[in-house]
Amino acid sequence: MDYQSKSTSTRKNTLLNVAVVVTLIIILLLCLYGWQLGIFRDLDTLRAYIDKAGFWAPLAFILLHFLQIIIPFIPGGVVQTAGVIIFGPWRGFFLNYLGIAIGSTVSFALARHYGQSFVRDKVSPEVWHKYFRWLDNGKTFPRLFGIAILLPFAPDDALCMLAGISNISWAQFLFCVLLCKIPVLLIYSFTMLGANQLL
């Protein structure tokens, strides 16, 4: 690679890094603002803000899902429950699925690009020490990852980032996230709907 090519590549990487940092800062500020307003802590407040979006409510909801996957302190259960209550079981399932798929894929891509130090900053020490040893399991890791995604209480967001620094391929990751999340979300959607009707 000649000097000009190296210079162009370096500029592209610098621009990409700056864009990612600026985007993450904006996302963090939006999350802090939402947390201050109570959007991520109270289901009624979240529902009110989604309803205010009107025609753009589905897009706003998907954006909330994206935020809660990228920023770990936002409780995902509140967002998923809101999706079912606001949009109904089938539409809520689809929007939950879409938001989780997009957010998980972005988390995986960021981890794959920025590596172990980036992931360690985003994952709690407990989760890091519990699941990091999985990464040494070679061909077994994609199976373990798929099983974990199927489990309702596994830390999916952290696992997607850990997958990004493993040897799992893009195809294996997308297979696990896009297929294994369907039954969990279906069960969750109709369970939450039934519970809401009983209240």
Chain segment 78-93, per-residue pLDDT in tens: 778 888 888 888 888 9
Residue 195 has a pLDDT of 56
Number of domains in the chain: 1
- Residue 129 is predicted with a pLDDT of 85
| Confidence at residue 190, expressed as pLDDT on a 0 to 100 scale | 75
Single out the residue of 68, 173, 128 nearest to residue 119, CA to CA: 128
CA–CA distance, 38 with 46 (Å, rounded to integer):
7
The answer to whether the beta carbons of residues 145 and 176 sit under 8 Å apart is yes
Q: What is the pLDDT of residue 37?
A: 66
Number of CB atoms found within 10 A of residue 161's CB = 28
Two tokens, residue 162: 């850990």
**Range(s) of the domain holding residue 28:** 3-198
pLDDT of residue 2: 56
What pLDDT, on the 0 to 100 scale, is given for residue 55?
85
What span, in angstroms and rounded, lies between the C-alpha atoms of 197 and 19? 44
Blockwise average pLDDT, block size 10, the chain, 199 residues: 60 72 69 66 76 85 78 68 83 90 90 88 85 76 86 83 91 92 83 58
The single-letter DSSP state of residue 8 is H
Neighbours of 71 (CB within 10 A): 20
pLDDT digits 0-9 by tens, 108-122: 998 998 889 888 888
CA distance 87 to 127: 32
